[in-house]
Amino acid sequence: VIKYKNRYEVIEDLQNGIKLENVVGYYLNNIEKNIHLNVFVEVYKNEATDKARILQEKFDKNPNDLGLLFGMVFTIKDVISHKEHELSAASNILKGYTALYNSTAVERILAEDAIIIGRVNCDQFGMGSTNENSIYGPTRNAHNESLIPGGSSGASAVSLQIDSCMVALGTDTGGSVRQPAAFCSVYGFKPTYGRVSRHGLIAYASSFDQIGILSNSIENISEALHVIAGGDDFDSTCLQIEKPSYHIKTGDKKHKICYFNQALESSSIDPKIKSETFDYIHKLKDKGHEVVGVDSKYMDYLIPTYYILTTAEASSNLSRYDGIRFGKRSDNAKNLDEMYRKTRTEGFSNEVKRRIMLGTFVLSSGYYDAYYTQAQKVRRLIQKETLDLFEKFDFLLMPASPSFPWEIGAKSNNPIEMYLSDMYTVHANMVGIPGINIPISTGKNGKNIGIQFMSKKFEEDNLLQFAASL
């Protein structure tokens, strides 16, 4: 049960004499009740309560002068810097590290009176699809506790399932916001690459990473996006262009939508997800939208290209964790060389090491052209194919995942199978376009299904508007 659907319901309660501190208390209580799901890495109990008191005073003084996110309680993923709070990327290598500054997204939401209630679990450095790759252990799906919640922003999605916040800030490099949103039956939105500053976000693959937003309502996502979007002097890839209004208006404009035939004909898709997706397509047509299957030449190249480029970028980004500058340093080293080696050996998980090694390999001289350069060329072709589609269509439709959430542990020893499960989400990050997961069926026992829609770059307003109309 979602107690507060939006911040206006909180404000209404305050007008009736309820204190903001009690609203925070309600969320804290849900955190307490669901401790066994392993969602939070750190709960900011005192801080969130203190901030509620300060904001209450502000409300009592002048209820007409409130920040744009007044009444919204957030969780943040453990890869987003929050000044003077620990930040670990769910990794031993950052254990004991405290953020020195706020990420731009955090800075902006706090300035608009948001309350951050805690920092939540995730896959180490955002590398994973299940939230199992974490020093804190796996997070469980609240709809069925033996299942994964998805990843890497798995705990962000569960923080909404258990109603411990109104909005969660996650990150999406290849689906980490949209896929867990689908597995947990919430909305999950990845903005265009370059819409939201990455300043203060721990880098995994810099040309793919974006901060994304999860919530139980699209209106909340729009309001949060309005605050965090927009140019930032600290991130030169974040575009200094005007942002449109993300305000959701009622309307039922008819749209042209396409999907890739190869995506729905793939042998990897669960038959039930395929049939539900086609049912959904029929419903869209009944509502007057045009929905057309088109061919993609590159469906089979998405996963290999994504995993070559992201591991290459990761191997470079993660070279900064050397035992000197951040967090952990090995106690068992006798000289400098050993110190680097042992720190990294002890600090990174096996999955992170696998990616550093893969990435180092594809960037090594002799293999660079065969893998890295080649993958860049393929990325370019995929981008061109998709951007051309948006000349004719408003939206691209894709399932969020080829399978239902699986049992914890089921794929842990099979990295290839794990990577293949990202086949529908990596596309948006390869191209840089925005995407949203819409929960379409909350199946029994956590068999949740989500549909994704993607749009042209920087047309988040149309995408969110359309999603809300659905």
Task: State which amino acid sits at residue 74.
Answer: F
Binding part of the chain for ligand GLN, among 10-18, 122-130, 241-249, 328-336 by CB under 6 A, reads 122-130
Q: What are phi and psi of 100, to 5 degrees?
A: -90, -20
Query: Binding to ligand GLN by residue 127, rule CB under 6 A?
Result: yes
Q: Nearest distance from residue 87's CB to ligand GLN, in Å? A: 16
Is residue 59 within 8 A of residue 20, CB to CB? The reply is: yes
- In the complex with ligand GLN, the residue whose CB is nearer, 34 or 311, is 311
Query: Binding to ligand GLN by residue 124, rule CB under 6 A?
Result: no
- Secondary structure (DSSP) of 108-167: HHHHTT-EEEEEE--SGGG--SSS-SSTT-PPPBTTBTTB---SSSHHHHHHHHTTS-SE
Query: Binding to ligand GLN by residue 188, rule CB under 6 A?
Result: no
List own/partner pairs for 46-53 with CB under 8 A and 24 or more apart: 47/116, 48/24, 48/73, 48/115, 48/116, 48/117, 48/118, 49/21, 49/24, 49/25, 51/115, 52/19, 52/20, 52/21, 52/23, 52/24, 52/115, 53/20, 53/21
Say how far apart CA 425 and CA 398 lie, in whole Å.
8
Q: Which residues inside 316-355 make contact with ligand GLN, applying CB under 6 A?
A: none
Query: Binding to ligand GLN by residue 126, rule CB under 6 A?
Result: yes
Q: Which residues inside 193-232 make contact with ligand GLN, applying CB under 6 A?
A: 204
By rule CB under 6 A, what string of x and - marks binding of each residue 285-304 to ligand GLN? Answer: --------------------
- In the complex with ligand GLN, the residue whose CB is nearer, 174 or 434, is 174
Residue of 6, 34, 121, 129 that binds ligand GLN (CB under 6 A): 129
Say how far apart CA 133 and CA 122 lie, in whole Å.
8
Query: Binding to ligand GLN by residue 152, rule CB under 6 A?
Result: yes
Strands laid side by side in the 73-77 sheet: 40-43, 115-120, 73-77, 167-172, 210-215, 187-190, 435-442, 448-455, 395-399, 256-260, 290-294
- In the complex with ligand GLN, the residue whose CB is nearer, 126 or 323, is 126
Q: Which residues inside 155-174 make contact with ligand GLN, applying CB under 6 A?
A: 171-174
By beta-carbon distance, which residue lies closest to ligand GLN?
Answer: 176
Query: Binding to ligand GLN by residue 113, rule CB under 6 A?
Result: no
Say how far apart CA 241 and CA 55 lie, in whole Å.
32
By rule CB under 6 A, what string of x and - marks binding of each residue 410-449 to ligand GLN? Answer: ------------x---------------------------
Q: Nearest distance from residue 127's CB to ligand GLN, in Å? A: 5
Would you call 123 exposed, middle or buried from its count of C-beta atoms within 10 A (0-12, 13-18, 19+)? buried
Residue of 134, 176, 197, 277 that binds ligand GLN (CB under 6 A): 176
User: 458-470 burial string, b = 16+ CB within 10 Å, else e?
Assistant: bbbbbbbbbbbbe
The one catalytic residue among 77, 328, 411, 456: 77
Q: Nearest distance from residue 95's CB to ligand GLN, in Å? A: 21
Q: Nearest distance from residue 365's CB to ligand GLN, in Å? A: 25
- In the complex with ligand GLN, the residue whose CB is nearer, 97 or 125, is 125
Does the bond joining 91 to the residue before it have cis omega, within 30 degrees of 0?
Answer: no
The one catalytic residue among 156, 159, 176, 222: 176
Q: Nearest distance from residue 125's CB to ligand GLN, in Å? A: 8
- Annotated catalytic, 152? yes
Query: Binding to ligand GLN by residue 401, rule CB under 6 A?
Result: no
Tokens of 317: 């980004």
Residue of 310, 349, 437, 455 that binds ligand GLN (CB under 6 A): 310
The one catalytic residue among 129, 152, 164, 315: 152
Q: Nearest distance from residue 177's CB to ligand GLN, in Å? A: 7
Tokens of 324: 């000197």
Q: Nearest CA to 326 among 355, 347, 354?
A: 347
CA atoms within 13 A on the CB side of 77: 36
- In the complex with ligand GLN, the residue whose CB is nearer, 20 or 90, is 90
Say how far apart CA 398 and CA 433 lie, in whole Å.
13
Q: Nearest distance from residue 175's CB to ligand GLN, in Å? A: 5
Is residue 127 within 8 A of residue 90, CB to CB? The reply is: no
Query: Binding to ligand GLN by residue 78, rule CB under 6 A?
Result: no
Is residue 198 within 8 A of residue 76, CB to CB? The reply is: no
Q: Nearest distance from residue 419's CB to ligand GLN, in Å? A: 7
Active site residues: 77, 152, 176
Contacting residues toward ligand GLN, per CB under 6 A: 126-129, 152, 171-176, 204, 310, 422
